[in-house]
Amino acid sequence: MRFSSRIDHVEPFRVMSLLEQAQAREAAGHDIIHLEVGEPDFATPQAVVAAGQQALAAGHTRYTPAGGLPALREAIADHYASHFNATVEPECIIVTPGASGALLLASQLLVQRGDRVLMADPTYPCNRHFMFLADAELDTVPVGPESGWQLDAALVATHWQADTRLAMLATPSNPTGHMLDKAQLAAVAQEVRQRDGHLLVDEIYQGLTYDIDPVSAASVTSEAFVVNSFSKYFGMTGWRLGWLVAPQAAIEPLTRLAQNVFLAAPTPSQHAALAAFTPECREELEHRRRELQRRRDALLAGLGRLELAPSVPPQGAFYVWLDISRYSRDSQTFCQRLLEEENVAITPGVDFAVRGGEYHVRIAFTNDVDRLEEAVHRLERFLARQ
């Protein structure tokens, strides 16, 4: 059978194979510590579940407008005003099936064949794949501790070319957990504006920050396209709900795209998400954020004892990007052996980085402190045999 050549650019997520193997070992009776998948061990907040159940009972199962429930768009706009001092009009928000739906809309609107896109390396691989599917040319810019693991204004200025049309940021980032602050975001927005380009910002992990207040590109510019999600901070991974903030001029074409690509986001999920903004739910979510910070600190302390802690600790999300070059230059084999020999599942860096992924791994601190400490103990035992 013959298929489109564009699919050749879409690589498999290697961690999914490890996850399947880990689950098989678990079913066979092995004690697996899961630190591979970007999903904490918290259930969706009960208030959100109850709101979803009520929506189903009330028969809220028909299509909503393509842009989403008006009440939810208003709630998201209020969220920007109250937490980020950002003025976002409800009509400039499009509710999508997960953040992936927002990335699909943005990529199809902003770039076309031959356009170049700047993006940090490492980054979440789907960000690259969406641009490939839009037939764009991707310029992955290596980042490290010297730039805070981010694509900053200086790097944008250095790597922007005549046919570059888009710069994409992710803050906090996956896999490194590092952020751009408000001044840095403003500087990048200014660089892009001067070049008559577009700025797309992945803020999927916004809210999950430690030792630093969360910020949004929407608070420094009204021209950015901002992607967010109910999956990470709000704990609604399986509900498949996200949103896109866009300039007013982009809303009509984005709505046309949404109507043709997915019609509308899941209706029961939209009704459920309204409960995520209540004070009671917010209190629960903040408690979870503090617990994730406790887990991060415990993991960093353990890695520090092994002299493996990163020089720049993650400021957000729930990942540690770990340099294993002292022990291996094959992260996939490293992760495979760690699973088979010590029953600890982590993610190979080659899933995220075009350069350097072979000697990095990502550890998700999505398990409780006791399990994280046990994982470090097993890792220490594993490394002693290398």
Give residue-wise pLDDT tens across range 10-19. 888 888 888 9
Buried b / exposed e over 133-166, threshold 16 CB at 10 Å, is bbebbbebbebeeebbbbbbbebbeebbeeebbb
Torsion of CA 350, 351, 354, 356, to 10 degrees: -40
With both helix axes pointing from N to C terminus, report the angle between 46-57 and 279-305 in degrees, rounded to the nearest 10.
140
Tell me how far apart the alpha carbons of residues 324 and 332 are, in angstroms, rounded to a whole number: 12
Q: Which position has the higher pLDDT, 300 or 37?
A: 300
- The backbone torsions φ and ψ at residue 343, rounded to the nearest 5 degrees and listed phi first, read 60, 40
Q: Tokens 């170049």: give the residue.
A: 116
DSSP 8-state symbol, 44: P
Q: Tokens 């999505």: give the residue.
A: 366
CA-wise closest residue to 200 among 215, 213, 212, 185: 185
Q: What is the pLDDT of residue 1?
A: 86
Give burial (CB, 10 Å; 0-12/13-18/19+) of 270: buried
- CA dist 337 to 19, 195, 198, 228, 344, Å? 13, 47, 43, 35, 9
**DSSP notation for 136-153:** -EEEEEE--GGGTTS--H
Asked if CATH classification 3.40.640.10 holds for the domain at 46-278, the reply, yes or no, is yes
Tell me how far apart the alpha carbons of residues 276 and 289 are, in angstroms, rounded to a whole number: 14
Residue 59 is encoded by which pair of tokens? 């028969």
CA-wise closest residue to 271 among 41, 43, 63, 40: 63
The CA-CA-CA angle for residues 336, 342, 347, to 5°, reads 40
Tell me how far apart the alpha carbons of residues 40 and 381 are, in angstroms, rounded to a whole number: 25
- The backbone torsions φ and ψ at residue 350, rounded to the nearest 5 degrees and listed phi first, read -65, -15
N-to-C CA span, the chain: 44
Residue 253 is encoded by which pair of tokens? 């074409």
Give residue-wise pLDDT tens across range 322-360. 999 999 999 999 999 999 999 999 999 999 999 999 999
Return the percentage of the chain with pLDDT > 70, whole number: 100
CA-wise closest residue to 232 among 210, 205, 195, 269: 205
Tell me how far apart the alpha carbons of residues 14 and 348 are, in angstroms, rounded to a whole number: 8
Give residue-wise pLDDT tens across range 253-311. 999 999 999 999 999 999 999 999 999 999 999 999 999 999 999 999 999 999 999 98
Q: What is the pLDDT of residue 293?
A: 98
Residue 294 is encoded by which pair of tokens? 């406790």
Tell me how far apart the alpha carbons of residues 289 and 320 are, in angstroms, rounded to a whole number: 16
Give residue-wise pLDDT tens across range 125-174. 999 999 999 999 999 999 999 999 999 999 999 999 999 999 999 999 99
Q: What is the pLDDT of residue 120?
A: 98
> What mean pLDDT value characterizes the chain?
96
For residue 145, whether the previous peptide bond is cis, meaning omega lies within 30 degrees of 0, is no
Q: What is the pLDDT of residue 157?
A: 98
Asked if CATH classification 3.20.20.80 holds for the domain at 5-43+281-384, the reply, yes or no, is no
Tell me how far apart the alpha carbons of residues 62 and 74 are, in angstroms, rounded to a whole number: 20
pLDDT at 4 exceeding the cut of 90: no
pLDDT at 200 exceeding the cut of 90: yes
Tell me how far apart the alpha carbons of residues 323 and 221 are, in angstroms, rounded to a whole number: 35
Residue 48 is encoded by which pair of tokens? 């959100």
pLDDT at 38 exceeding the cut of 90: no
Give residue-wise pLDDT tens across range 171-199. 999 999 999 999 999 999 999 999 999 99
Give ranges for CATH 3.40.640.10 in the chain. Answer: 46-278
Residue 80 is encoded by which pair of tokens? 């920007």
Q: What is the pLDDT of residue 7?
A: 84
pLDDT at 59 exceeding the cut of 90: yes
Give residue-wise pLDDT tens across range 356-370. 999 999 999 999 999
pLDDT at 64 exceeding the cut of 90: yes
pLDDT at 52 exceeding the cut of 90: yes
Q: What is the pLDDT of residue 370?
A: 97
Q: What is the pLDDT of residue 201?
A: 98
